[in-house]
Amino acid sequence: MKRRNSRPPSQIDAARQVALGALAFLAGDPERIGPFLAESGLSPGDLRGVAGSAAFHVALLDYLINRQDLLIVYAGEAKIDPGHVVAAREILFHADMGED
């Protein structure tokens, strides 16, 4: 049974912003987005349909976390600590699961 998420909406919104920033980061460079699309099985046209999905956000952040070189570059460009990306992934994962 899913239980209600007790995280403040602001934390979830901030985590979504990290994920959307990561998507923009990848989409801004064909050499970055191409491998992500290939690994995910998505086409560029699919992105609009899934961009709002918490499961997609988690998968996107997983991809970035597993490619430390990209993680470091994204975090630097976004002016955030790479640990914020990991934290955002955890927040979104638990929010999607209906957990705290």
Please list the rounded mean pLDDT of every run of 10 residues in the chain (100 residues): 57 94 95 94 89 91 96 96 96 77
In a domain, 46, yes or no: yes
Q: How many domains does the chain have?
A: 1
Q: Is residue 3 part of a domain?
A: no
Q: Is residue 1 part of a domain?
A: no
- Amino acid 98: pLDDT: 64
Domain-embedded: residue 4: no
Q: Which domain holds residue 62?
A: 9-96
pLDDT confidence of residue 80: 96
Residue 80 lies in a domain: yes
Q: In whole angstroms, what is the distance from residue 78 CA to residue 80 CA?
A: 5
- How many Å apart are CA 51 and CA 55, to the nearest integer? 9
34 is a domain residue = yes
